[in-house]
Amino acid sequence: MREIAVIRTGTANLASVLAGLTRAKCEPVLIDDPASVISADYVVLPGVGTFSAVMDELTALGLVEAIRQRINEARPTMAICLGLQVLGSSSEESPGTQGLGVFDARALRFDDGLPVPQLGWNRVHPEADCRLLCEGYGYFANSYRLDEVPPGWAGAMADYGGPFVAAIERGPVLACQFHPELSGQWGAALIDRWLAAAQESLSC
């Protein structure tokens, strides 16, 4: 059984993430120290709550550089929901708070007039160069989003009052705005594909 390290952000709904990984026949283990973030074979970065609360916790734990290093080294990592947004540089939700800066992108609130959070199922449309992402429905719970796939990443889009980034991938690194662990068989299959790609990268 594969051991999956899940970063304890202090704000995420860890129960659903841990249950989803257990259903994927993995053994999830909570971590909150830089050495474990860097050394673990597989890492999941979940996120629920506010951009500033997650970044404050990651900073207090000394995890910012460790997460950034891990992703820049293309080590198997999956970010979920707010976990995707904090990979960017900032968010309209928390002016003055810096993200992890893995790529230069600002998370923006959905346009006025749209009910927020977006809560429920939405269709995910992957770009042609995606290896992990495929067409299907993901379960979303978000008030903020990225509006463009960052350079150097493959991505998938969804639509809620206009197109927004549903997920991005680069090698064994996958970041989803939706919750794969809550997205039924389609989400479970995505987790399985990520694990297979991650295992392949570790074998090289």
pTM comes to 0.96
Q: Tell me, what DSSP letter sits at residue 30?
A: E
Helices of type H across 7-48 = 14-23, 34-39
Mean pLDDT, the chain cut into blocks of 10 residues (204 residues total): 89 82 92 96 92 95 97 97 97 98 98 94 97 98 98 98 98 97 96 92 74
Cβ atoms of 122 and 138 closer than 8 Å: yes
Q: Tell me, what DSSP letter sits at residue 150?
A: P
Q: What angle do CA 97, 31, 2 make, to 5 degrees?
A: 125
The full set of domains in the chain, from first to last, is 2-203 (3.40.50.880)
Rounded CA separation 53/47 (Å): 10
Query: Is 125 annotated in the active site?
Result: no
Question: In the prediction, which pLDDT does 203 show?
Answer: 75
For the chain, the straight-line distance linking the first and the last C-alpha, in angstroms and rounded, comes to 20
- Which residue type occupies 127? E
Q: Is 159 helix (H, G, I), strand (E, B) or coil?
A: strand
Question: In the prediction, which pLDDT does 15 show?
Answer: 86
Token pair 């429905």 is at which residue? 137
What residues contact residue 120 under an 8 Å CB cut-off, 6+ apart? 139, 140
Rounded CA separation 11/133 (Å): 26
Helices (H) and strands (E) in the chain, counts: 6, 12
Rounded CA separation 198/174 (Å): 10
Q: Which of 113, 126, 120, 89 is closest to 162 using CA atoms? A: 113
Query: Is 130 annotated in the active site?
Result: no
Q: Which of 81, 130, 169, 176 is catalytic?
A: 81
Q: Which of 26, 130, 176, 179 is catalytic?
A: 179
Query: Which contiguous run of DSSP H or E holds residue 64?
Result: helix 64-72
